[in-house]
């Protein structure tokens, strides 16, 4: 086990997940996972339920200069695709995109690749890609890192998808920066358990 992984929040294994909180890229920086730890996190991310063993997903890892290269590419695409933005609007969007890609030391793009001809429904293939994102968030939380599941305009723009290296038919399921929060964000209101969870009461014995 890598020395870098520490069990956070004491011995109860559920406690870190009870406190999991996404971190805005603005508050993310180093350290991030070392090579061995990153490999473990990504291996765990891919250990998801996958009906029909279709593996309808893949991961693109951005580190070091790769993050800046993709940020430059997306900046060009945004500028080209939004000629009518005023300067302030453009700067704001570009800054958000650059932060998303360069603030944390590691960024993982989770790509959904649905096979419409496969014998399992497209919906289930998409859900499996969502599970990859959530597994990665859970794993990085348990390993003591911080992160956030993002998408943003680039995930929904043809130019953006090309700049990220996606092939035809592939979609971005998530862009997940991984690092360490410089400060913990205040929690947000969480779902009301009783409004969201019902226990079926059997009427017949």
Ligand X SMILES: Cc1cc2nc3c(=O)[nH]c(=O)nc-3n(C[C@H](O)[C@H](O)[C@H](O)COP(=O)(O)O)c2cc1C
Among 144, 149, 170, 171, binds ligand X (CB under 6 A): 149
- The H or E element spanning position 18 is helix 15-18
Number of residues this chain uses to bind ligand X (CB under 6 A): 9
Binding-site residues for FMN, please? 20-22, 47, 51, 149-151
Closest CB 193 distance from ligand X, rounded Å: 15
Among 151, 162, 170, 171, binds ligand X (CB under 6 A): 151
Is 152 or 159 the residue whose CB approaches ligand X more closely? Answer: 152
Tell me: does residue 21 bind ligand X (CB under 6 A): yes
Name the β-bridge partners of 170.
113
Binding-site residues, please? 20-22, 47, 51, 149-151
Tell me: does residue 148 bind ligand X (CB under 6 A): yes
Closest CB 143 distance from ligand X, rounded Å: 17
Is 22 or 102 the residue whose CB approaches ligand X more closely? Answer: 22
Closest CB 113 distance from ligand X, rounded Å: 16
Cα–Cα distance, 21 to 18 (Å, whole number): 9
Cα–Cα distance, 168 to 158 (Å, whole number): 10
Which residues in the 154-193 window bind ligand X by CB under 6 A?
174, 188
Closest CB 150 distance from ligand X, rounded Å: 4
Q: Give the footprint of ligand X on this chain (CB under 6 A).
A: 21-22, 148-152, 174, 188
């Amino acid at each position: 086990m890598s020395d870098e992984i520490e069990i956070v929040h004491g011995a109860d294994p559920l406690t870190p997940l009870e406190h999991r909180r996404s971190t805005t890229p603005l508050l993310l920086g180093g350290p991030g996972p070392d090579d061995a730890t990153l490999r473990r996190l990504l291996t765990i991310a891919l250990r998801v339920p996958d009906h029909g063993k279709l593996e309808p997903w893949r991961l693109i890892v951005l580190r070091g200069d790769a993050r800046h290269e993709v940020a430059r590419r997306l900046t060009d695409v945004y500028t080209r695709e939004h000629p009518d933005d005023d300067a302030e609007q453009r700067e704001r969007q570009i800054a958000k995109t650059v932060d998303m890609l360069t603030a944390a030391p590691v960024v993982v793009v989770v790509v959904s690749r649905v096979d419409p001809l496969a014998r399992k429904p497209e919906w289930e293939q998409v859900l499996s890609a969502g599970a990859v994102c959530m597994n990665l968030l859970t794993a990085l939380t348990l390993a003591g890192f911080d992160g956030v599941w993002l998408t943003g305009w680039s995930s929904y723009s043809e130019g953006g998808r090309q700049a990220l290296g996606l092939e035809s038919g592939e979609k971005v399921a998530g862009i997940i920066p991984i690092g360490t929060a410089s400060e913990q964000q205040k929690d947000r209101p969480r779902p009301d358990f009783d409004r969201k969870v019902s226990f079926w009461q059997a009427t017949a014995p």
